[in-house]
Amino acid sequence: MHLKRLLIVILFLLSPYSFADFNAKVVNIVDGDTIDVLDGYNQKLRIRLLGIDTPERKQQFGYESYFYLNKILHGKSVVIISSPDKDKPYTLGYFKRVIGKVVLNDVDINLEMIKKGMAWHFIKYKKKQPKYDNNRN
């Protein structure tokens, strides 16, 4: 019985999806607050940047927001930080996108988008944000 429990714990720890933070390569910018990435297992995931909102690409200033995010992220290796939620190792939003913070070279890209005037704070997911992030936005 103890061996079975030990095996379950080992498998859980070795599982690529047992932790919420993961490295990924940005392969597409959808708009100013949504990107597509490939994780370490070549699985494509759509990421919705936590805590920010931007205009859609066809709305006023939407292209500028998209263009800025594309300039800084496309083709780059990033870290995605997302909180585990229910039976998933990360939070999924309404459209089945991973809700997370994107970090490039220790820079919080979500916050960077706000600082550059390309996004605004999106309070819908405020409860999912760490308290530290809420105080910075």
Q: Supply the pTM of this predicted model.
A: 0.75
Give the closest residue to 92 by CA, choosing from 117, 121, 128, 56.
128
Q: Residues with catalytic annotation? A: 48, 56, 97
Residue 9 domain-assigned (yes or no): no
Q: What is the CATH number of the domain that holds 126?
A: 2.40.50.90
Identify the CA nearest to 118 among candidates 76, 83, 73.
73
Domain membership of residue 6 (yes or no) is no
- 30, part of any domain: yes
Q: What is the pLDDT, as a whole number, of residue 4?
A: 55
Please state the domain count of the chain.
Answer: 1
- Structural domain of 103: 19-136
Per-residue pLDDT tens listing for the chain (137 residues): 556 554 454 544 444 444 469 999 999 999 999 999 999 999 999 999 999 999 988 888 889 999 999 999 999 999 999 988 877 788 888 888 999 999 999 999 999 999 999 999 977 544 544 544 544 44
Is 13 a member of any domain?
no
- Domain presence at residue 105: yes
Phi, psi of 57 (to 5 degrees): -55, -35
Neighbouring residues of 50: CB distance < 8 A, sequence distance ≥ 6: 82, 91, 99, 100, 101, 110, 125, 128, 129, 133
Residue 5, domain member (yes or no): no
85 within some domain: yes
Q: What is the pLDDT of residue 34?
A: 96
